[in-house]
């Protein structure tokens, strides 16, 4: 596909609909940020689940994301098209599982994740360039989530001391 994807493309396949974050990935500006925001209402719906069930669901979403992002990237002819935001959604859901309660902490988690997802410090950038397909799309955001979680834990520690 050489043209920009639109609602027709997104609705043509359930994988595309999910990969584009229910349409958030169609945003003309900062689709990854809009996709990350989609995770917040999803988190609020899923948060009442038992913690292990929540983590199992996020793990299942990660595994499904390999296929979802792979199918959509292949259909677009672009391995990691910017509008594919399922990886941001899943990564943010993972971060929120370890985020202290409160809107301030949720905002900090959001900002830290966006920072590391955009910046891609070592080794994230290497994996982003070297690992392709759906797994590669999901992996770099998982690594950005790990960086964000480490930074968030540091912030929590600083506020406690």
pLDDT (tens, 9 = 90+) of the chain, 161 residues, equals 546 899 999 999 999 999 999 999 999 999 999 999 999 999 999 999 999 999 999 999 999 999 999 999 999 999 899 999 999 999 999 999 999 999 999 999 999 999 999 999 999 999 999 999 999 999 999 999 999 999 999 999 999 88
Is residue 122 in a domain? yes
What is the sign, positive or negative, of the torsion defined by CA atoms of 107, 109, 39, 84? positive
- Does 91 map to a domain? yes
Q: Give the structural domain span for 89.
A: 7-160
Q: How many domains is the chain built from?
A: 1
**What ranges in the chain are assigned the alpha helix state H?**
7-11, 14-19, 31-46, 51-76, 86-97, 103-119, 124-130, 133-160
Establish if 127 belongs to a structural domain. yes
- The separation between CA 126 and the C-alpha centre of its own chain, rounded to angstroms, equals 18
Residue 44 within a domain: yes
Domain membership of residue 72 (yes or no) is yes
| Any domain includes 2 | no
Q: Is 87 a member of any domain? A: yes
Q: Is residue 1 part of a domain?
A: no
pTM of the model: 0.96
């Amino acid at each position: 596909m050489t043209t920009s994807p639109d609602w027709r493309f997104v609705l043509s396949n359930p994988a595309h609909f999910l990969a584009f974050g229910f349409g958030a990935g169609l945003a003309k500006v900062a689709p990854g940020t809009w996709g990350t925001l989609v995770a917040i209402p999803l988190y609020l719906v899923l948060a009442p689940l038992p913690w292990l069930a929540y983590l199992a669901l996020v793990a299942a979403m990660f595994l499904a994301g390999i296929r979802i992002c792979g199918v959509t990237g292949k259909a677009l002819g672009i391995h990691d098209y910017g509008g594919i935001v399922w990886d941001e959604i899943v990564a943010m859901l993972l971060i929120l599982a370890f985020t202290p309660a409160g809107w301030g902490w949720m905002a900090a988690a959001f900002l830290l994740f966006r920072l590391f997802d955009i910046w891609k410090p070592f080794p994230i950038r290497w994996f982003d360039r070297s690992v392709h397909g759906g797994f590669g799309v999901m992996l770099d955001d998982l690594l950005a989530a790990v960086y964000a979680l480490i930074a968030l834990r540091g912030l929590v520690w600083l506020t406690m001391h």
